[in-house]
Chain A
Amino acid sequence: MGKNLFEKLWELHSVRELPNGQTQLFIGLHLIHEVTSPQAFQMLNERGLKTAFPERTFATVDHIIPTKSQSRPFYDGQAELMMQELEKNISANHRIRFFHTGSGRQGIVHVIGPEMGLTQPGMTIACGDSHTSTHGAFGALAFGIGTSQLRDVLATQCIAANKLKVRKIEINGALAKGVYAKDAILLIINKLGIKGGMGYAYEYCGAAVRNMSMEERMTICNMSIEGGARIGYINPDQTTFNYIKGREFTPKGGNFDRAVKFWNSIASDNDASYDGSVAINANEIEPMVTWGINPGQSVGISENIPKMADIKPEEKGNAKLALSHMGFEEGMPIKGAKIDVAFIGSCTNSRISDLREAAKIAEGKKTAKNVKALVVPGSQQVRKKAEREGLDIIFKDAGFEWNYSGCSMCLGMNPDKLTGNEICASSSNRNYIGRQGSPKGRTLLMSPAMVAAAAISGKIVDVRDYL
């Protein structure tokens, strides 16, 4: 019997069995940002410990950074203090590489890791952020950790971990025009439920996944956690190797050729076993939009918000809460819902291909009156590339703000926030109550192209009518 990628990488990185029955797992790549690291460094200092493998930790700033201007000091004193704390910790641990705003490589941690080639197949990757699952797109075991675990990684480059089960998720067929990776993952979360992945790693496979670019694969793996799965991954293939080749931190020359051999060797074997599998037909997926307060509460653009009578008994409570928070009626179509804000960005959808798709829709159009629209590239490099392609001009001419890179309006930790009960078409990953910075704010999740179309129309529309 063969093995799947999860089992192979788990074995490769297992240090020993711990007295409590957990596994001491070595972490190949550790990414840190300003929000979840300061307490971990404090704990380390309190114990008089040093970072064990500083060369395996890389830092950036993304959550708190203002996107209108990255200049210092930040207007928000708390954000400035947080920034200084990170700088202090880096200078005390100077072998940690820091991609600061002046580096030209700052950005959302899950955008810059892959972009610089830090993220590679066959690695274990940890970061104090639940969307670390993104890096699984390369065939790595990548997962979010809490701050105490971050302390453990700094002190030992290991965590105490429990093995997960692995479920295969096959996406067969092909996505239609105007339907994107974001729609596929929203449908998967809707079908399997937001608790469906608890205790599992998801292995995404099938023809639709094989034909996806690396950026699309990252969108899929990114939202594994919204389906309850801490890890999502895709076996590495030629698409993966082509993406990696020539990036700053990837092996070069003969080392690259040898690396490809290793990367091929860690992919799941054909006869590997799984703890269950699910198949989805990509041909049937249409653009998806969430209508509620968790990422599982979504419908296809041509569908109506479900009627209470059609909702499973155990989900009725949350559905009721969702309708009252969103101000929607059961059974109403999602198409036509008015929006106040349109946000294109976040670790789910802020890469160059996302911006290109959104720009195709925005080109030559104007955003609707009363809609505040913003585009926030995931990294300084994405921003630069987009500007070289003239995408910034397209967006600005259409009335979008063109901002500097950061997490921005995905979560309320920086000046980009909803106010009052504003309703936002968003390419981000979470529609939880209060997520976008206003306790009464409302979020509709969808693909970047759908957000662009909503920004132009002032309401939720079917992007396929705009192609």
Chain B
Amino acid sequence: MKITKIRGKCVAIRGDDIDTDRIIPARFLKEVTFENMGKYLFYDERYAEKMPFQKGIFSKFSIKIHPLNDLKFEKASILLVNKNFGCGSSREHAPQAIMRHGIRAIIGESFAEIFAGNCAMIGIPLLVVSKEEINELMTIAEKNLDASVEIDIANKEINYDNKKLKAKIDDSSRISLIEGYWDSTSMLLKGIDKAREIAGKLPYANNFENYKAL
């Protein structure tokens, strides 16, 4: 599948260094499929467990103030973030939760590496813009609820409010998205014979039986 353009409303989650434990707390990783992950996105920031005496009619959880709990942003499909988003644990559950919540692209100041790799693998484009630019996008998203943004992946552009913004996007992910290569398994399988050949030459693969130092 080729992904060239994404159009939608935005939701901003402000703050630097938002780690994957915050995006999806470890206790939800005990499920053996990704199916329910969308429900657990930013769980501990969105819900608080009620004290036993508070438990009652509705549920044992109370809802906290959080952009993802705000009905105004219910239809948002583009996430806006600040620096080093997704740092920490390698859990793919984090981008899976974001995707299953309905997010199709993320715009931010910078992204942690393993997180960025995981997003590339499941077809979530990550666009990098400056601090000033993300602040403007966030402010617009929070103030003007009708504002929508169009991401043009091929041209590395973000269009909004009759303005055009140049964004950075990792070259290999950009090509993968617009050419539909982001199914990495099929791509790698094409090189499997060559991989076997390379493996055969690795000294440790043959337990150093015939290894001669150069």
A interface residues with partner B (beta carbon < 8 Å): 12-16, 18-22, 24, 26, 28, 35-36, 38-39, 42, 47, 49, 52-53, 63-64, 76, 78-79, 81-82, 85, 120, 122-123, 128-130, 132, 143-149, 151-152, 155-160, 162, 194-195, 198-199, 225-226, 228, 230, 251, 255-256, 258-259, 261-262, 265, 294, 314-315, 317-318, 321, 411-413, 430, 432-435, 437, 439
Q: With A35-B29, A198-B112, A225-B114 given, can you name 14 additional A-B contacts, CB distance below 8 Å? A: A13-B198, A26-B199, A38-B33, A52-B195, A81-B32, A122-B203, A149-B117, A158-B195, A198-B84, A228-B87, A262-B213, A265-B214, A317-B15, A321-B15
User: Which chain A residues lie closer than 8 Å to B213 at the CB level?
Assistant: 258, 261-262, 265
CB-nearest residue of chain A relative to B29? A35
Residue contact B19 to A294, C-beta cutoff 8 Å: yes
CB-nearest residue of chain B relative to A128? B90
Complex CA distance for A64 and B113, rounded to whole angstroms = 25
**Residues of B within 8 A of A (CB-CB), count:** 66
Residue contact B29 to A413, C-beta cutoff 8 Å: yes
> Total A-B pairs in contact (CB under 8 Å)?
230
Complex CA distance for A407 and B25, rounded to whole angstroms = 15
Residue contact A433 to B90, C-beta cutoff 8 Å: no
With A130-B89, A194-B84: A162-B184 Cβ-Cβ less than 8 Å: no
- B30 contacts A by Cβ under 8 Å: yes
User: Which chain A residues lie closer than 8 Å to B114 at the CB level?
Assistant: 130, 143-146, 225, 230
User: Which chain B residues lie closer than 8 Å to A198 at the CB level?
Assistant: 84, 110, 112-113
Q: Find B88's partner among A123, A146, A158, A430 (CB 8 Å cutoff).
A: A430
Complex CA distance for A113 and B188, rounded to whole angstroms = 26
Q: Find B170's partner among A14, A145, A162, A437 (CB 8 Å cutoff).
A: A162
CB distance from A261 to the nearest CB of B (A): 4
- B122 contacts A by Cβ under 8 Å: yes
User: Which chain A residues lie closer than 8 Å to B185 at the CB level?
Assistant: 47, 49, 151-152, 155-156
Stretch of B52-60, B145-153, B157-165, B204-212 that contacts chain A: B204-212
Residue contact A157 to B199, C-beta cutoff 8 Å: yes
Residue contact B32 to A413, C-beta cutoff 8 Å: no
Complex CA distance for A321 and B92, rounded to whole angstroms = 26
List B101-134 residues whose CB lies under 8 Å from chain A.
Answer: 110, 112-114, 117-118, 121-122
Complex CA distance for A433 and B121, rounded to whole angstroms = 27
- B136 contacts A by Cβ under 8 Å: no
A-B contact pairs, 20 of them (CB 8 A): A16-B191, A20-B171, A22-B172, A24-B194, A28-B204, A28-B205, A35-B91, A36-B92, A82-B30, A82-B32, A151-B185, A155-B189, A156-B185, A156-B188, A156-B192, A198-B110, A294-B17, A315-B16, A432-B88, A433-B21
With A22-B172, A24-B188, A194-B84: A149-B211 Cβ-Cβ less than 8 Å: no
